């Protein structure tokens, strides 16, 4: 049996390093836009082709930290899908993939300009699940045939790490139910899409989630309370879930609650921000790995923070992920964590 299976999006990310002009543009959340000359050719300084997608990113953390790991998701019948499979195998992750007939493997192109990225995302097969993709989930109660049962038993593990987007999030509730019935502990990083479209369902299922990780904006959207009322946000989440919740805030660090204490930590200062893609996944998976290893929240915060810092120092969401030896580096020895009783 695997220690952990990550379930959700898998992509191939292509980074293009280029210099482009940035202008004020109030129509976007950042109030900025990049300018590319229309109908012209533009030289790209460098390119990087790397594994991405929340579920794949998380699986690399678990494997590098020594856990027996599988990654479950959906790809297309194409070269990008093969490449992803090979990357995961090289990482020691067992890919358990459904192959879509009429959708391509998810591929994003990321324009990287001075450490900030603009993502052109094609989600394709990755987020578009139909119930035939998970017969082991749907067939229960109906007497599944042996092939389906076998797949179902392949998916059993001590932990699951769920990060679902698009129509894959339709299967969140049945997946959590399957986990509960099979004694699988669940770490959960909801996508913005899932929070927007399935907010009530998430709230109803938090009682069966062991670890929830969201950023401040997502936490506020999920409970419907502004994060300026931080205590109320945590109170609502703590009332709904017996597990642990981590709310991240980029370079300001993180606040964690286990319902008894609130933990607050900053970050390990990065040497440079090469690319912040994957910081959230590195934190969420690093924290889960820390919980799996020791059950200790302070240890989990330190491991998660070290992983996130190393990830932002590299281009792409996976190259910077740390292993056990990296974590022993003295730069990751001490992180101030304030603990306050609730």
Minimum CB separation from ligand ATP for residue 115, in Å?
A: 9
By CB under 6 A, the residues from 246 to 275 that bind ligand ATP are 248-251, 253-254, 267, 270, 273
Which lies closer to Mg ion via its Cβ, residue 159 or residue 188?
188
By CB under 5 A, the residues from 33 to 72 that bind Mg ion are none
273 binds, among Mg ion, ligand ATP, none (CB under 5 to 8 A by kind): ligand ATP
Mention every residue, 6+ apart, whose C-beta is less than 8 A from residue 188: 161, 162, 163, 209, 211, 212, 213
Coil, helix or strand at residue 155: coil
Both structure tokens of 29: 């959340």
Which lies closer to Mg ion via its Cβ, residue 71 or residue 100?
71
134 binds, among ligand ATP, Mg ion, none (CB under 5 to 8 A by kind): none
Of these, 73, 135, 278, 280, which contacts Mg ion (CB under 5 A)?
280
Per CB under 5 A, the segment of 68-76, 88-96, 273-281, 330-338 that binds Mg ion is 273-281
Annotate 79-138 with three-state secondary structure. HHHHHHHHHHHHCCCEEEEEEECCCCCCEEEEEEECCEEEEEEECHHHHCCCHHHCHHHH
With contacts defined by CB under 6 A, how many residues of the chain interact with ligand ATP? 20
Is residue 155 close enough to count as binding ligand ATP by CB under 6 A? Answer: no
Both structure tokens of 136: 């082991």
Which lies closer to ligand ATP via its Cβ, residue 312 or residue 322?
312
Site string for ligand ATP, 168-207 (x = CB under 6 A): ----------------------------------------
Which residues sit opposite 21 in a β-bridge? 35
Instruction: From 158, 168, 101, select the one nearest 137 (Cα to Cα).
Output: 168
Site string for Mg ion, 70-99 (x = CB under 5 A): ------------------------------
List of long-range contacts for 333-338, beta carbons under 8 Å, 24+ apart: 335/265, 335/266, 335/268, 335/301, 335/302, 335/305, 336/265, 336/266, 337/263, 337/264, 337/265, 337/298, 337/301, 337/302, 338/263, 338/264, 338/265
Q: Which residues of this chain interact with Mg ion, rule CB under 5 A? A: 280
Residue numbers at the binding site for ligand ATP (CB under 6 A): 215, 248-251, 253-254, 267, 270, 273, 276, 278-281, 283, 305, 308-309, 312
């Amino acid at each position: 049996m695997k220690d952990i299976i990550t379930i959700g999006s898998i992509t191939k990310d292509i980074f293009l390093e280029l210099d482009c002009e940035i202008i004020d543009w109030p129509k976007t959340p950042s109030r900025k836009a990049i300018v590319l000359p229309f109908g012209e050719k533009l030289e790209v300084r460098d390119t990087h082709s790397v594994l991405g997608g929340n579920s794949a990113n998380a699986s690399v953390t678990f494997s590098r930290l020594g856990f027996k790991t599988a990654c479950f998701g959906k790809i297309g019948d194409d070269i990008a899908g093969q490449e992803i499979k090979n990357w995961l195998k090289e990482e020691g992750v067992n890919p358990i993939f459904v192959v879509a007939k009429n959708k391509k493997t998810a591929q994003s192109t990321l324009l990287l300009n001075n450490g900030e990225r603009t993502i052109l995302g094609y989600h394709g097969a990755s987020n578009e699940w139909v119930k035939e993709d998970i017969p082991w989930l749907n067939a229960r109660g109906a007497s599944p045939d042996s092939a389906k049962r076998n797949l179902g038993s392949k998916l059993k593990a001590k932990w699951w790490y769920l990060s679902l987007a698009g129509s894959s999030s339709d299967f969140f509730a049945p997946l959590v139910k399957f986990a509960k019935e099979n004694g699988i502990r669940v770490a959960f990083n909801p996508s913005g899409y899932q929070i927007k479209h399935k907010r009530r369902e998430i709230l109803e299922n938090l009682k069966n989630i062991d670890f929830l990780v969201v950023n401040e904006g997502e936490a506020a959207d999920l409970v419907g309370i502004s994060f300026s009322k931080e205590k109320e946000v945590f109170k609502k989440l703590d009332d709904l879930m017996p597990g642990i919740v981590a709310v991240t805030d980029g370079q300001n660090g993180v606040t964690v609650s286990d319902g008894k204490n609130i933990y607050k930590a900053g970050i390990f200062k990065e040497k440079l921000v090469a690319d912040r893609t994957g910081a959230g996944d590195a934190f969420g998976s690093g924290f889960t790995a820390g919980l799996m290893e020791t059950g200790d929240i302070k240890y989990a915060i330190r491991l998660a923070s070290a992983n996130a810092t190393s990830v932002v120092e590299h281009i792409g969401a996976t190259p910077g992920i740390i292993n056990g030896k990296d974590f022993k580096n003295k730069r990751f020895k001490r992180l101030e964590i304030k603990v306050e009783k609730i």
